[in-house]
Structures are given as C-alpha cells and as structure tokens.
Amino acid sequence: MTPAKQFVKKILFSCFLIIYLVGCGMQTEPAPTATLSPTPEPRIFRVIAYATDAAVPALIPFDMLTHINYAFLLPNDDGTFKPIINAWMVGELVRLGREHHVKILVSVGGWGWDTQFEAMAADPARRTAFVQNLIKIVSQYQFDGVDIDWEYPDAGPSSQNFLALIEELRAALPKGALLTAAVAALGDNGGGIPAESFKFMDFVNLMAYDNTGPFHSSFDFAQASIDYWEERGLPAEKTVLGVPFYGRGTEVRATEISYARIVKANPANAQGDSATVNGVPVNYNGIPTMQAKTRLALKRASGIMFWTLENDTTGDLSLLNAIHQVVINNGN
C-alpha cells in the first residue's frame, strides 16, 4: 500500500471512530424525566379579575386584564359539583377571553364552602372523584385553568389534605393549564397552606382585604401580607396581591358596598379611602391607594388581583383603569 493510500485509510478510520463515539454518547444520554411543575407563563405583570355570573361579558374591558377567574364553581362533599347556573354567560366569557388573549379560569369554592372541602379532601376516593369531575368541567367549558378557593384549610391534617389535592390536580390538568389558589392574607388562616404546595401552583392570590380595625384593606396590610408569604417561601414571581373593589363599614364582616356605589354617591370619594354613604361610614380603597398598591405589586410581586369586576365603575373613576395606567407606565 502506498503512503498516500495509508494516509487516506487512517483519515477514514478516524472519521468512523469519531462518528461511532458521538453516536454512542447520544444513545446513552438519559431521557428527560416528567415533572409535576407548572408550565412557565410568559413574564408579564398579571392583572386578574374575579367575575361572578352577574358580570356582562360584552362590557368587560379585556384589554386591561390578563386573567379572569369565574366565581364560583361550588363543590359537594362527595367530589361532585353543583351545576353552573349561567352556562351561556360562561361560554361567552371564555369565547371573548380567547379573542382578547385573556386566560379564563374557574374558581372553585369561595367563602362558606370549607366544610365541603374538608370532607372531600380528607377521603382519597372523594378527592380523586373531585379531580376527575373538575377536569371534565375544565374540558367542557374550555377553561384555561383552575383556581382553588378553599377558605381555609387548618394547619395539620387539613393542610396535608390540601397539599394532596393540589398535587393530584397538577398531575391531572393538561399541559399548559393553570393551577392557582386564593389564600388568606396572613396569620392563622394562612398557616393551613403548606409551603410544599407552592411548587405545584402557577401563582397564588393573596386576599389582602377584610382586615379588622378602622381601615379596610390598608396599604400597610398589603405590605404585611406580602411579607408573610415571602417569609413562608412563596417566590415573588408566584405572588399576586389581592385588592378590594368594594368597601365595608367599621364592624367586622360588615355588609359590602361596591366601589361603583361609593363613587356614585359622590365622585370625590374616588380620591379617598373613607366616606359616608347613605349615613353609613364606609372604608375602601380609592384611586390613590389602589395605584400605590399596584406599584407595590410591581416591585414585590408578579401581579394584582381584585374582587370583583362588577363592583367597579367606568371611565376615569374606574379602579381597573387606575391600575392599568400604573402598569402601562411601568409604575410611574
């Protein structure tokens, strides 16, 4: 064999060896393992409205929102659900949400439904039935995800049942579907939400309102709520600050009065946090406080949530518009 042919043979052998070794490396690389982690959303500042069946979908300012939580789907203690009464409204809400690129979630539970959650989540068979039935409803109405509003699991066994429920839901929901929860602002009622559940949820809505005392949902209370959940290990990118679009009297659990009604009584009320409406002293969040809370959320959280959309007014006095102006101007 000539020197030239020997050289070519060596080159060919070297090439074959390189190809073989690379191929073996590709074949032996372990396949990625599946996880129960949420699918990351695009990094946007979330503006989330709770809307009941009293909302009129055609009048919703979708361009100021990123998410809407339809409230409520009511659970039974056996893992089934009460029928959605205004199904036409829900269908229209989902349709318009798609058109405007707004995610529509179904919120399950609400105030006064803790007994049903407790009984269901404590029983593995009922819990599985709950998850399976909920997935069917999500598919039927084409919701973009689920918001669990269990007010409130106790620390201890109830807390572990909450964790089991959230983990099962995360595993059962289709890829890309959102899983969130509404939780107490802070204190004992927050202790039943275990930190281990955070990894299964896309974000958590802090219900930083209805605090007792002379103020209703003060700015300081919002700060304290974020502090509490930050100390519990909830990351800022999963923290959503909740604010009220309603006022209350000074008594604990006093009757709600909508922000729309407060400013209808006197438009100047939009610039304050307390007023007398029909002879009743009422505390609420006016435009300056709402914008200050939005700046706080921009700095320390990933979004702002409010209860409820239909409590707002329209035009320049709208609280949603006040939030929107801060968001589009990056906190200025």
Tell me the C-alpha distance between 91 and 93, whole Å: 5
Residue 290's alpha-carbon distances to 20, 47, 238, 287, 306, in angstroms, are 64, 13, 20, 5, 10
Q: Which residues of 32-45 are buried (b: 16+ CB within 10 A; e: fewer)?
A: eeeeeebeebeeeb
Tell me the C-alpha distance between 30 and 139, whole Å: 34
Structure tokens at 16: 């074959």
Structure tokens at 315: 């035009």
Residue 161's alpha-carbon distances to 111, 127, 165, 168, in angstroms, are 19, 9, 6, 11
258 and 226 in contact (C-beta within 8 Å)?
Answer: no
167 is catalytic: no
Question: Count of alpha carbons within 13 Å of 164, Cβ hemisphere only?
Answer: 18
> Which of the residues 41, 92, 118, 151 is marked catalytic?
151
Tell me the C-alpha distance between 69 and 52, whole Å: 8
Structure tokens at 11: 């080159």
Pick from 64, 122, 130, 60: nearest CA to 321 = 64
Give the angle 222-226-229 at the CA atoms, nearest 5°: 140
Give the 3-state secondary structure of residue 220. helix
Tell me the C-alpha distance between 256 and 310, whole Å: 13
49 and 69 in contact (C-beta within 8 Å)?
Answer: yes
Tell me the C-alpha distance between 284 and 317, whole Å: 14
The residues assigned a catalytic role are 151
